[in-house]
Structures are given as C-alpha cells and as structure tokens.
Structure 1
C-alpha cells in the first residue's frame, strides 16, 4: 500500500494512528480468515494426496495379481553336484511340474585347424607372391578375404581377425622354434560344422584346408579331437544332442544350458514347479498395501483431522472392505478371498488366517484355484483394479478432488489480491477524509490565533494570568 505519512501535521492530531487502526480493524480479521482457510485447504490437499498415494501402491500390486501370467510362472530348482555347476535352466509358463536327473556327456565345440610343420619359418614369410582370395566356411556361415601380392603369414593373421564379415574364426601364429604355424579356431559348434578354407589359386594351398584342385588336403589339418561336435546330455538316461550347449525343449517348454561335462557320471537334479514363492510374496504385499490404505484413510478422517466427516472417504473405505467379500466363480472349492487363508483381524486389518486353512496349504493343494480367485473376470484383483481405476485415472475421483482443492486455493489467492486492493482503496479514502479534517482544524486554529491576537489588542482587554 502507498503510505502518506503527513496526516496530522496541520492539526497536531495523531491521524496516522487513527488511519492505521481503522485499516487494521478491517484488514487483520480478513487476513486471519485467509490464512486459516489456506491452512485447511493445504492440509486437506496433503491428506488427499496421501490417500491417493496409498491407493496407487495398492493398484500396482493388484495389477500383478490380476495378471494370470504371474500365476503361470514356473521355477526350476537345480541341485548341482559337488564338482560344480553342470547346467542352468530357464522355464516358460507352459513348463510342467516334474523332476529330472541330468548328466552332461560332452560340451559342444567348434573346430580347430593347425598348419603342417615346416611350411613357414617366420611370421614374415610370404604366403602368396601374386595375391589371391581365401574363403572360410563352417556350416551355413562363410566369409572371404583378399590377400595382396607379397602378403605375409602375419598379414594373413591380421586380415582374418580384422574381417568385418568374420563369423567367429580366430587366427593365431604359434612359433615352435623351427617353424611358424597358423592355427585357426572356429566358434561354430555342432557335428558337421568343421571349418573349411578354400582358395582361388594353388599358391594359397599351404594356408587352406582344401587345395585348389578341390580334392587334395591343404596345409591346414583338423585332427579328430579338434573336429566340431555336438553337445550331449542325458535326461533320466535318455541321450539328447544339440549343435550348441543350449537344449531347447529337450524337456518340453524348458531350456537347458550345459555348463561343463559331468565327472564320474555325476548328475544335476532338476525340479520344475509353480512359482509359489513369488505368488505368496505378491499376496503378502497385497495384504500390506490394503492395510496401509485403510490405516491412511482412518488417520486422515479421525476427529480433528482434515478429512474428518468426509463422506467420500467413508464411501471409499466401505467399497474397499466390501470388495474383500466379493464372490468368485470357477475357483473350485473357493468362493471368496477368505477361503484361501486370508481374513480380517479384530482390529479390521487384513491378515493371513490359518483357522480354516493356511495360504500355503491353499497354494500347495489348489494353486490354480488361488489364481482364479484373483484373476477371474469376477476375481478379487480384477474387481479391485476396476474400483481403483475409478479413483486413480486421469478423470477419477481423486483427481477431481485434488483439482477442486487446488481451484479453491487459486480462488483464495485471487480473494487475497482483491482484498489487498480494497484495503489500499480504504486507506486512500481515509487519508483524503482526514486530510480535509486536518486542513479544517489547521484553519480553525489559525483563525483562533488571529482572533485571540485581535482581542488582545483591544482597549481595556486584559488577559487573565
């Protein structure tokens, strides 16, 4: 507010205090109401936010429990032998519960080609005087390199390893003291996938497995033990082979990866079962999140709290509790959530209840029916998700409530601004009014002083002392 600090100068009256007191009498009660209202709205908004956050947490676990895929998960428990890990296993939702013994007979390997003795004495020896092409093939994969005239054994090694098209062939040079040998290793595993190296000029026969004539062996040889081979495992005594160390559907809907060969016919024990641990953990989280929602609503609606007496919050709590009793069809002997070992305590908290049966017993004896209780079209999680969506979606009840409170806060801000303007105008009016009074009193005082002076100058006028 613009302040005029000269009021009362002419009259000698404390008009500033009078103006200030008048404005404060109008202003301070209103400001106090604004502050109180703002605090109430802010606390209410915070309370709604806390309840909304607890509902979001509950909705997250309900989405998991409403998804049948989370009940179809399977776990594979592998008991490895004392010598170390033989296998690793991954499951799918279609894996069947069963147990097996798995022995790894051999691991898959790629081929290894070694150069004959005394073909080259040093890595700097020239392998081709005129240049040419080499083609490397293993199974269905291949690549080629071009050697320039005068290329050395070392340059050949580098060209193989640096080829952008190389599918997995590694070249090394071994110096045994009398000669330098090229050694090629292919990572293309599987029986029949041996590395074959051909050329387009007989000058390169020494660095090929097959000579240019297409019949004679070249200077690179693959020993029997170095040939590409399959991996072999035995599942309950049944032999199974694979061109890699991964066995897909050797046991239907399972993937077994061989890690090392068994020692002394040792086996790994494999047990496939439903993933009860994860499901039970999800149900425990549901219990925790549900209780948190109820406790949060109770806290913010208790006597003295911001949402005390709020009918919308009472309705929300009622709907949540009533949903627990929803009847579910197609779940075998189970009809409600309470049938699978979950109940309400005397305090109204959801808890695992073993009076009828335990949750663990229900999961062990009727796992699929427990899944139905949550995931059926009329299942607990399905119904809860629908209810929570009504509150949490972008056009849901909680968003509407937050928008309403924020609108009130915005209006309160406008009211404050309008009130400040009115107080400013009030002070201006008061100053104008008191300014006139100030002038009038000053004039009267001046006139009085003049009259007193005139009277004092009259003959016979005496002033009492």
Structure 2
C-alpha cells in the first residue's frame, strides 16, 4: 500500500493522520490474511518435519527388513595377532583351526653399489621379466612379455628408478644410500611365488642391475634380499597356500587375514552376526520414537497456558500417530505381540527396549526374523510399508502438504487483490479529505472577509 503524503493546505486539516487512521481499519482484512498465511506456512513446515522423520523411519525399517541383514556372519579368532578375518552371508556356521606356517612375501632385490649421485656410465637396456624362480634360484620361468627400460650412460640410479616406476612393470624401485654408496632397491608389487621377477641387461657395463639365472650363477650383479613366497597354512591339518596374506578363495564366504606365523593353531569360529541385528533393531526403535515425539509435540495442547501447537487437532497428523500405534500394539496372526520381544509400547506412544528379552530373542534368529519381517505381516515390514505410503505421491502427508500449499497460494492471491483495493481506497480517501480541506479553507477565508466588512461599516 502506498505511503500517505498530503500537505493539508487550506484549513490546516491534518489529512495524513485522518487517512492513516482510517486505513488501519480498512487494512484489517489484509492483516487477517497475512496472519492466516503465517499459520499455513507453519503447518507446511511442521509436516516437513514429520515427512523427514517418517523417511528416517522407512530407512530404518527397510534396513532391518532386508534379508541380507539376517544373513550376516562373524568370524571370531582366538588370537587376532596371528589371524583376523571377516565373513559374508555365504559362510556357514562352523568351527575350525588355522595354523600359519609362512607368510606370503614379495621378491626384493638390491643392485650393486654406485657412488652417491654418480651416473651408471653405460648405455643399454634393462629387461624386466615377471615369473617364478626355482627353489634354488638356478632357473626362472617367465610369465609373459618382458618390459624393457632404456638406460642412458648419464642416468643416475635415481633416474633409473623413476623410469622403472613409470614403466608399470609390476615392480617398484627406490634408491637408498648404503655404507658403500647408492643402491637401487626393487620389489614386486604383489606377493606370492608366481610374482617374482628377473632382471637382465644388454651390456656387461650394466651388470650391477642384473638378476637373472646367468648373473646369479656367476655371483655377479644384484642380490636378492627377499624371495617371492606363498603363504603356507593348514586348516584342520589340511595344507593350503595363497599368493596373498589375504586369503579369500579357500573357505566360501570367508576372508582370512594372516598376520604372522605361529607354532600352534588358532581357533576360528563362524557365528551369526546377532550384534548387527540388535544394532538395527535399536536404530528402528530410535527412528520410531523420533516420529512419535515429533507428531506428539506438533499436536500438543498446553492447558496451563491455553496454547496450541501448529497441528493440534489436525486430522492427518492424528491419524498418522494412531495408525503407527495400532501397528505396534496389535498382535500378529499367531497372537504374538511386539512386546514379547522386549519392545514395549509406552503411554506416550514411544517404544522401550528390554535388553534381556531382546538378547533372548536373538538366540533364535529365524523366529525373530519371521515375527519382524515375515512377508507383509511382520511388524517391521508393516511399519516400512506404512511409512513409504504416507510419504508417497498419493500418501496422506504428501496430500496434506499439497492442500496446504494450494491454500497458501490462494491466500497470497487474496492478499494481492486486497492490497490493490486498499491502495485504491487510500487514494480515494486522500482525494476526499484534500477536497474537504480546501473547502474548509475557502469557508474560513469567506468568514474572515465578512467579519472585516462588518467592522468597517461600524466605524
């Protein structure tokens, strides 16, 4: 609405004040519309809180109802300093022993020494061949094409190391300063006897870099500091080996992480992962209680202060609350209650957990799973489906929110129309009172003239 500006010429009538006071009365319908809009916006925000809490409840219920959640397995080791591990749902409950006799190793080689920072002095080619060595290192079986590294006479060991690392040859190189000069250390990227390597050179001047059957036999060139080796272990006395210390292909569903060797076996057991189920039950209860508290707070009426929360008496919010409590408190087809598991519905609508009952129920996972997630009749699956539907495109929360948004849009249109009418009304009042002011000014001037004329006749 435009601001009032009138000088009040003529009689001196205070047009601004008069019109301002009149417009306060005229603006009352607009004030009511604005107050109503604020209330609608608060309700929209309130349903946003409910929608968010309901979405979290859906996620928690969905996670607990997921079949994979009930197939979890735990690997327990009697000595994790020797062996650790993990299990998937493919693993079956079992007990066995593992003795680690040798850990998998990567081959490592150290070149001959070169004066610190000096160049290699000879040009040629360094060929890297992947494969495996015989037990006495007298022969090498290659496993594919070699990778050739061009060596320049001016190259230092650091330069050669950089070329090897860029060649993606399955080995890494680094230069260390030893007591007799710089040495090139090379190591396989992978452990296991099949991941060894041989180094051959095209010129005798590069012999410090060589490690192949010829140089080994001549005791000339690089020195092997660690042999490529498989991990060796037994499972219940049955010998097995692995190229890696992370063993994934020996027992279905199990990953065994070999940490160190041991003269005695380590006991291993595979059990159901009841801890993970309990954690998901706790998450479900927390999510349910969040929805319950949000709806309860938004629909509360405080008798002491005679104040109502935004959704007090809102049929949609109340129906949501009642439906959730009905699902939780109604027995299933077999007459079992959720409270039998230790999930007790409280007076305020929240769920409490009885740890003793929960732990007892976890000892029989198939029975617990059926009670919570059986088809569409399990308590958790019912909550999951209810939350999904309520937040869905045609759900009660979405429909109520859409109705509130439509009401707010209509209210804003009414405000725009009312503001236009009030602006026109203000202009009309200004015009009327400015005219009245002018008329009163003219009458005042006429009265003054008559008074002066009458006085002149008397004199």
Same fold (TM over 0.5): yes
Structure-2 change in CA distance of 1:141 and 1:64 (3 Å): farther
Kept in 1, the 8 Å contact 2:114–2:120? The answer is no
2:321 to 314, 317, 320: 317
1:388 to 2:387 alignment: yes
Distance 2:194 2:433 in 1: 112
- CA displacement at 1:31 relative to structure 2: 4.6
- Name the larger-Rg structure: 1
Structure-2 change in CA distance of 1:390 and 1:152 (3 Å): closer
Distance 1:146 1:205 in 2: 14
1:134 to 127, 136, 148: 127
Taking structure 2 as the reference length, the TM-score comes to 0.80
Distance 1:236 1:98 in 2: 12
1:158 to 2:155 alignment: no
Secondary structure class of the residue paired with 1:291: helix
Show structure 1 runs of 5+ residues with no match.
Answer: none
- CA displacement at 1:112 relative to structure 2: 4.5
Aligned to 1:189: 191
1:56 to 2:49 alignment: no
Note the 1:262-281 alignment, pairs <5 A: 262=262, 265-281=263-279
Note the 1:200-211 alignment, pairs <5 A: 207-211=210-214
- CA displacement at 1:201 relative to structure 2: 6.3
Aligned to 1:404: 403
**Offset from partner CA, 1:414-452 (integer Å, 9 cap, x none):** 433433332232222223223333333333333334444
Show structure 2 runs of 5+ residues with no match.
Answer: 133-142, 302-307
Taking structure 1 as the reference length, the TM-score comes to 0.79
**Offset from partner CA, 1:323-353 (integer Å, 9 cap, x none):** 2357768xxx895544433332344432235
Aligned to 2:441: 442
Kept in 2, the 8 Å contact 1:209–1:218? The answer is no
- CA displacement at 1:320 relative to structure 2: 1.4
Distance 1:439 1:68 in 2: 88
Secondary structure class of the residue paired with 1:422: helix
Moved more, 296-305 or 443-452: 443-452
Alignment length, in residue pairs?
439
Aligned to 2:286: 288
Distance 1:298 1:125 in 2: 80
Distance 2:104 2:437 in 1: 110
Aligned to 1:307: 311
Aligned to 2:139: none
Structure-2 change in CA distance of 1:187 and 1:389 (3 Å): closer
- CA displacement at 1:107 relative to structure 2: 0.8
Structure-2 change in CA distance of 1:154 and 1:452 (3 Å): closer
- CA displacement at 1:22 relative to structure 2: 2.4
Distance 1:187 1:162 in 2: 11
Secondary structure class of the residue paired with 1:358: helix
Distance 2:176 2:23 in 1: 99
- CA displacement at 1:102 relative to structure 2: 2.3
Aligned to 1:37: 36
Aligned to 1:423: 422
- CA displacement at 1:208 relative to structure 2: 4.2
Aligned to 1:145: 148
Structure-2 change in CA distance of 1:88 and 1:11 (3 Å): same
Kept in 2, the 8 Å contact 1:73–1:275? The answer is yes
Structure-2 change in CA distance of 1:369 and 1:423 (3 Å): same
Structure-2 change in CA distance of 1:141 and 1:26 (3 Å): same
Secondary structure class of the residue paired with 1:308: coil
- CA displacement at 1:72 relative to structure 2: 1.3
1:86 to 2:85 alignment: no
Aligned to 1:111: 107
Aligned to 1:352: 353
Secondary structure class of the residue paired with 1:95: coil
Structure-2 change in CA distance of 1:37 and 1:188 (3 Å): closer
- CA displacement at 1:203 relative to structure 2: 7.2
Secondary structure class of the residue paired with 1:324: helix
Comparing both chains, which one has the higher relative contact order based on Cα–Cα distances under 8 Å and sequence gaps of 6 or more?
Answer: 2
**Offset from partner CA, 1:360-386 (integer Å, 9 cap, x none):** 11111x212322333333133333222
Kept in 2, the 8 Å contact 1:78–1:270? The answer is yes
Secondary structure class of the residue paired with 1:96: coil
